[in-house]
Amino acid sequence: MKCRVCRESAVIDIRRHNANFCADHFLRYCRDQVERTMKEFSMATPGDRVLVAVSGGKDSLALWDILLELGYEADGLYIGLGIGDYSDVSGNYVRDFTSSFVANRESEHANSLIEIGLRDSYDYDVPTAADVTGRAPCSACGLSKRHLFDRAAHDGGYDVLMTGHNLDDEAAVLYGNVMRWQVDYLARQRPMLPAENGFPKKAKPLVRLSERETAAYCVLRGIDYQVEECPMAAGNRHLEYKHALAASEEASPGMKQAFYFGYLREAADLFEQSAVRTPDDGPGLVPCESCGSPTSGDPNGQPRCAFCRLSQRAAGADPVPVELLKTKRR
């Protein structure tokens, strides 16, 4: 197996591109794919201030590293979700990466890490919120992350908030949205959403890389990352869709990329045009009375955002450890 570029021996094969690469040319391939995606979807230009949401997993750490390698001014944002050891270990990977790959880098900007702990700042955590609301943990988790990402990007004056969603993630979300014809979600499934109605611009620059590639990127760069799945992910539909797509990709390499990019090219505009605008994304938003974020209000018409409602409900409740929540839900 020889590198497509230099003919030295290759360390990885990428079947959907029918290409093999040596370590150096693979790292370059990853950066090129990100640079190309950022240009194609107008995600950022040099000089923009970028905030990267980093979870401690391979994708977001690879993304932060690639942005810095490409010369972007990029700070990290880690949210401590309070999911037992999983969150503690994830936070440590983020901090280790910051001290060994970010802080000592020669750069014009002092790139740094912002940390927000749900328990420290809002007096609740994801397992406790799931217990109090009786809903799936991912619901409280997603709501809290989205709100805190938006807030941090807005308060810090960043031009764009980036996340490490990769091709496998986006294809699986698209698959799920198509299987259930979630037309309102389809209308917003884009790798870049411009700043709108008080929400910051958001971008997913890894949509041309698979998770196997971001893992290989980290290994070759010597980046240690959280390899465990979230302990609350069991039964999550997203994983089910990923498995289904992985089987098709195995049989016909390139299928996932064709599915996702084909959607963006052929159908995304149609869904966007026909989307019914809901108060949540329309111009009828008002500032939340507690935190000032744009919101359509609560079911009683009060101007209070979903995050403030959740945190006010869960704050102060007796903490529920992950293990206990898992047994309760069985």
The smaller minimum CB distance to ligand AMP, of residues 20 and 60, is found at 60
> Considering only residues 14, 30, 34, 54, which one is a binding residue for ligand AMP as defined by CB under 6 A?
54
Residue 288 interacts with Zn ion (CB under 5 A): yes or no: yes
Residue 232 interacting partner from ligand FES, Zn ion, ligand AMP, none (CB closer than 5 to 8 Å by kind): ligand FES
Give the interface segment with ligand AMP, choosing from 78-86, 120-128, 254-262, 291-299 (CB under 6 A): 78-86
Q: How far apart are CA 286 and CA 292, in angstroms?
A: 8
How much is the CA Rg of the chain, to the nearest whole Å? 20
Phi, psi (rounded to 5 degrees) for 54:
-115, 130
236 binds, among ligand FES, Zn ion, ligand AMP, none (CB under 5 to 8 A by kind): ligand FES
Instruction: Give CA–CA dist 133/128, Å, rounded.
Output: 9
Locate 244 and state its tokens: 């289904």
Q: Which residue of the chain is nearest ligand AMP when measured via CB?
A: 164
Please say which residue, 138 or 286, places its beta carbon nearer to ligand FES.
Answer: 138
Question: Considering only residues 5-64, where is the footprint of Zn ion by CB under 5 A?
Answer: 5-6, 22, 25
The token pair at 89 is 């270990």
β-pair type (49-53, 73-80): parallel
Q: Within its chain, how far is the Cα of 76 from the centroid? A: 12
x/- binding map, residues 164-203, to ligand AMP, per CB under 6 A? xx---x----------------------------------
Contacting residue, 79, 132, 216, 306, with ligand AMP by CB under 6 A: 79
141 is a contact residue toward ligand FES (CB under 6 A)? yes
118-137: which residues touch ligand FES (CB under 6 A)?
Answer: 126, 137
Identified binder of ligand AMP from the candidate list 10, 66, 81, 153, rule CB under 6 A: 81
Rounded Cα–Cα distance for residues 36 and 256 (Å): 18
What the block records as the tokens of 169 is 């993630």
For residue 55, the partner it binds in Zn ion, ligand FES, ligand AMP, none, with Cβ less than 5 to 8 A by kind, is ligand AMP
Element spanning 268, H or E: helix 268-274
CB of 229 to ligand FES, least distance (A): 7
Centre a 10 Å sphere on the Cβ of residue 163 and count the other Cβ atoms it contains.
22
Stretch that binds ligand AMP, among 1-9, 15-23, 163-171, 308-316 (CB under 6 A): 163-171
N-terminal to C-terminal alpha carbon distance within the chain:
48
Distance CA 69, CA 24 (A): 13
